[in-house]
Amino acid sequence: MTQGPSAEPGVIDLLGLLAYAELGSFFRLADDAGLAPSLRTKGELAGLAATEQSHYQAIHDRLVELGVDPEEAMAPFIAPLDAWHERTEPQSWLESLVKTYVGDGIAGDFYRKVAELADAETRALVEDVLAETGRAEFVAGQVRAALEEDPKLAGRLSLWARRLVGEALSQAQSVAVDRPELAGLLSRGSERDKSGSGLGDLAAVSRMFASLTEGHTARLAAMGLAD
């Protein structure tokens, strides 16, 4: 196994996390088919899921190019991500859409972190993923349209969005304990200071949490929801 010069463990962790997150979202979206209100939305849902699969494939192939076993890189994140999905199973089509939007938003934050830290080729891949804004707009638009039709939904969906992030933070807590290098990397901001590796202290974890929730309020507003 040969690793590229910039394939530091924290970046590989981030790519493994994102790969399994995309694969998990793929299966979760497909599983939500029963919630789709029509054959048309069922088809759209399949399209959203296929986008997750293409992101998974791109990260998977990049990990192989970096000389990393993709399954090994994903392994540490299976339990926390599966737990997140189990604890936040959507009960309606709108909850499924809000989950897609919130999950994509958090993933976007992680992708941006990879773009800051990784080698040029990995950065190009990440920028391709981040450039796909049409999907997020489609999802936010669907939620906004539903809220315009029935404004009473806003309270319940805002609570749902809060639960999604709360459960994500709770899983992130256990990841931070298990993967101090990753927590250190995420808490460091954009400077490439490797002295932070091994940081597992509470300050680093809370900086990681701040980074995780950053942008969440803006994303809720884009869907017409309150924080």
User: Does 18 contact a second copy by CB under 8 A?
Assistant: no
Q: Is there binding between residue 177 and a second copy (CB under 8 A)?
A: no
Q: Does 50 bind a second copy (CB under 8 A)?
A: yes
Binder of a second copy out of 42, 112, 135, 144 (CB under 8 A): 42
Closest CB 171 distance from a second copy, rounded Å: 18
Instruction: Quote the crossing angle between the two packed helices 70-87 and 153-178, to the nearest 10°.
Output: 140
Question: Taking the CB of residue 39, how many other CB atoms lie within 10 A of it?
Answer: 8
Q: Which residue, 1 or 202, is less far from a second copy as judged by CB?
A: 1
Q: What is the dihedral of CA 199, 202, 207, 213, to 10 degrees?
A: 130
Closest distance between a second copy and the C-beta of residue 99, in Å?
A: 16
State the CB neighbour count (10 A cutoff) for residue 43.
11
Between 59 and 88, how does the x/- string for binding to a second copy read (CB under 8 A)? Answer: -x---------xx--xx--x----------
- State the Cα–Cα distance between residues 60 and 46, nearest whole angstrom: 21
How buried is 173 (Cβ within 10 angstroms: 0-12 exposed, 13-18 middle, 19+ buried)?
middle
Count the residues of the shown chain that bind a second copy, applying the rule CB under 8 A: 25
Position among 31, 109, 116, 167 found at the interface with a second copy (CB under 8 A): 31
Q: Give the Å distances, CA to CA, from 93 to 2, 6, 36, 57.
A: 44, 41, 6, 26
Q: List contacts with a second copy (CB under 8 A).
A: 23, 26-27, 30-31, 33, 38-40, 42-43, 46-47, 49-50, 53-54, 56-57, 60, 70-71, 74-75, 78
